[in-house]
Chain A
């Protein structure tokens, strides 16, 4: 839910250290997530403590792996589309032919960040109906903004001298883009993708209120039925998923100065 992580950097706990150690955090979180999905029934005595009076304390309406898979699918599809469209749009408006659109697109991208994700999700339903599709569309639309903004910031922030040198070497526009501009902008673009995915994992969970079945289901069902154990299971898994994905991004992202 961090609106600014795109520009400011996060201090990642695995920024330095040997290669093996840098993979440790994402691997540990992923293992924990898998283990939690698989071994939740064995934690029954623990959940019995918070919910001593309920008949069932382990959410059993759907397999946790299935819910996790659906959650990742929705976020993944939305993220892939958002990355494709967002980066392409940002590239298009920074080329000479599309430069006219730059002021409007950049203002839209920064203004759109003000929109609460829940409101976007809620407004997608009247237009698109219930189910998984409106959630994907809402996630896609909302996820576009940080990606467009950061790609623009990355491409526009490149030192003019570098672009000049590339031109002087006889590179064509396409070569400059692929070999100079995009690699230089990559860390900032990646930060935008990270923000986008982090927000989307959270928003997708809320999406289970509009008929998209995912890890938000146990939470919503727990709240509706007054079963805190369900809520805890859903919250635990979503939290672990978010941390796994975030630490994966932290691993991919080169450490940049605070």
Chain B
């Protein structure tokens, strides 16, 4: 951005941090079994000088390319960064082969801070580079696919000692069930709050006096911390299910999916109602006027003008709600609602960090995926040139 052909300071600093952390922090940690704490091993301890030289070379390469950048050089740097990302799983395979004693089938390998930080720094470098240079869409997709393919291949063929994988294998059916529960809770909550939210927003448009009260109430709900709301719902639901048999027969009780769903819907309502309201309200009056001038009826204006124009804003509400609900459902595991949060809290209880990862990583990936997919859908539906 600065004048002249100065170095790309962002990439240079990212690479410096990467180099220092890669050389200074533990690459992996190895434990003889699940119970004993792992022993951290640095890069030199895993692969010696050949490993150091081989792994540092591409980093220095990117550093050199970023020092005197040009579009061509940055393209090469991007290639190198993606190659390094793809090499991270391979590195774990190598580390597993070199450090884990095959005579001890119980021993397990945990990913060290150096690898996590490298992943983070390389992803940041990717963001930076993709922002600087134009890459054709298919080439970009191909480059992004590379690390994912490498990870998949390594997980399928090697990496038996990886603790994360062992935790997964030990509870594969439970894991798949947990993902199902998580997705089910999130989607039901989003659907319920969508229909409720659209209804509420329409009601607020019709009766403006209710609008202020409605938003105040929803803001109030949104302020209450999730754990507290889950807790507060416990008592009345437990009481209801004790009191009325048919509620109990429905499976509603103080703990479980019922309070979780109620709380999720309560939290989802504010972004949903607000965005629906904005979507309906903030269509340019001139456009409505023009539509009326063309002889459209109220219903036609709603269907053909307001809805298409408001749809991106509505979808934005769905996106916020979904991402938020994915995170909140993790907390709901504390009140027995199941889902991936169960592994997090189980792992925290047993001080089994890889079990925590088994719960937290999919939640993170789900949130990022939901965000990206719904964001792309919003972009696609946005009418060109109108907003």
Main SS of chain B's interface residues?
helix
Main SS of chain A's interface residues?
helix
State in angstroms the CA–CA spacing of A127 and B112 once bound together. Answer: 9
* Complex contacts, B324 vs chain A, CB 8 Å: 1, 3
Are B227 and A219 in contact, CB atoms less than 8 angstroms apart?
A: yes
Are A239 and B224 in contact, CB atoms less than 8 angstroms apart?
A: yes
B45 within 8 A of A: no
A182 within 8 A of B: no
Are B344 and A122 in contact, CB atoms less than 8 angstroms apart?
A: yes
Are A239 and B364 in contact, CB atoms less than 8 angstroms apart?
A: no
Are B234 and A243 in contact, CB atoms less than 8 angstroms apart?
A: no
Are B335 and A223 in contact, CB atoms less than 8 angstroms apart?
A: yes
Given contacts A114-B371, A201-B225, contact A228 B235 (CB under 8 A): yes
Give the residue among B128, B212, B226, B227 with the most A Cβ atoms within 10 A.
B227
B92 within 8 A of A: no
Binds B, one of A97-105, A148-156, A165-173: A97-105
B304 within 8 A of A: no
For window 329-348 of B, CB contacts with A under 8 Å fall at 330-331, 334-335, 341, 344-345, 347-348
Interface size on B, residues (CB 8 A): 64
Are A238 and B216 in contact, CB atoms less than 8 angstroms apart?
A: no
Partner pick for B356 among A126, A205, A228, CB 8 A cutoff? A126
State in angstroms the CA–CA spacing of A201 and B116 once bound together. Answer: 28
B110 CB, min distance to chain A CBs, angstroms? 8
Sort chain A's interface into a size bin: 35 or more
Are B235 and A122 in contact, CB atoms less than 8 angstroms apart?
A: no
Query: Considering only CB atoms, which chain B residue lies closest to A231 in the complex?
Result: B231
* Complex contacts, B363 vs chain A, CB 8 Å: 116, 118-119
* Complex contacts, A50 vs chain B, CB 8 Å: 235, 238-239
A13 within 8 A of B: yes
Partner pick for A242 among B224, B351, B360, CB 8 A cutoff? B224
State in angstroms the CA–CA spacing of A235 and B271 once bound together. Answer: 23
Where the two chains meet, the residues of A that have a C-beta atom closer than 8 Å to any C-beta of B are 1-5, 8, 10-11, 13, 50, 96, 99-101, 103-104, 107-108, 111, 114-119, 122-123, 125-127, 130, 198, 201-202, 205-206, 209-210, 216, 219-220, 222-223, 228, 231-232, 234-236, 238-239, 242-243, 246
Where the two chains meet, the residues of B that have a C-beta atom closer than 8 Å to any C-beta of A are 1-2, 8-10, 113, 116, 124, 127-128, 131, 212, 215-216, 219-220, 222-232, 234-235, 238-239, 254-255, 267, 270-271, 274, 320, 323-324, 326-328, 330-331, 334-335, 341, 344-345, 347-349, 351, 353, 356-357, 359-360, 363-364, 367-368, 371
